[in-house]
């Protein structure tokens, strides 16, 4: 069996973890200027992944701190689903990916880096995005900086907020 290493993720895995949830209000206040939140709805929000697998890797997160997906309310499920679909639309317009991975890792064994606050991943995929650099050179190429991704996507989510009644006024 061959192994594919993602050593670039070691910064996140080996870093000291705060004793607070980064998705909860207390955690989001820590680095307000760098929190990368694109949209805040009534029950959930959209944030850029600080350690992305690909440019435009977003997460849709409920405000409520819970880790059991079956405990989401119908309202949370609806808004999160709407935000996943809207995120796909926005990413298609701004970055033109060739496909997407949409998913949720439940529990540490299921691959969750933040296991006690569930969140959906919306990962744009591009033809050839898993290329020789990652597979052979053990180097992950991030072709677009997080600041540029934020600047590209934030106006789109602001427009979405204007079209929906769910957006929080923050």
Active site residues: 119
Using DSSP's 3-state secondary structure scheme, residue 95 falls into helix
Determine the Cα–Cα distance for residues 110 and 21; give it in Å rounded to an integer. Answer: 19
Using DSSP's 3-state secondary structure scheme, residue 119 falls into coil
Determine the Cα–Cα distance for residues 167 and 160; give it in Å rounded to an integer. Answer: 9
Nearest to residue 141, comparing CAs of 47, 10, 52?
Answer: 52
Which residues are paired to 122 by β-bridges? 58, 102
Which residues are paired to 135 by β-bridges? none
Using an 8 Å Cβ cutoff, are 167 and 43 in contact?
no
Q: How many CB atoms lie within 10 A of CB 56?
A: 24
List the structure tokens of 21.
């949830």
């Amino acid at each position: 069996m061959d192994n594919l290493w993602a050593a670039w993720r070691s910064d996140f895995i080996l870093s000291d973890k705060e004793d607070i949830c980064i998705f909860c209000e207390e955690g989001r206040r820590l680095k307000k200027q760098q929190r990368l939140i694109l949209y805040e709805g009534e029950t959930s929000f959209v944030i850029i992944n600080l350690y992305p697998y690909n440019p435009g890797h977003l997460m849709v997160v409920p405000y409520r701190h819970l880790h059991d997906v079956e405990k989401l309310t119908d309202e949370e499920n609806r808004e999160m689903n709407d935000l996943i679909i809207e995120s796909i639309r926005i990413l298609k317009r701004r970055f033109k990916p060739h496909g997407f991975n949409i998913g949720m890792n439940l529990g540490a064994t299921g691959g969750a880096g933040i296991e006690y606050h569930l969140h959906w991943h919306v990962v744009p995929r591009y033809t050839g995005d898993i290329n020789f650099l990652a597979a052979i050179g053990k180097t992950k190429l991030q072709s677009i900086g997080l600041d540029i991704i934020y600047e590209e996507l934030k106006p789109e989510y602001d427009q979405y907020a204007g079209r929906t009644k769910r957006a929080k006024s923050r």
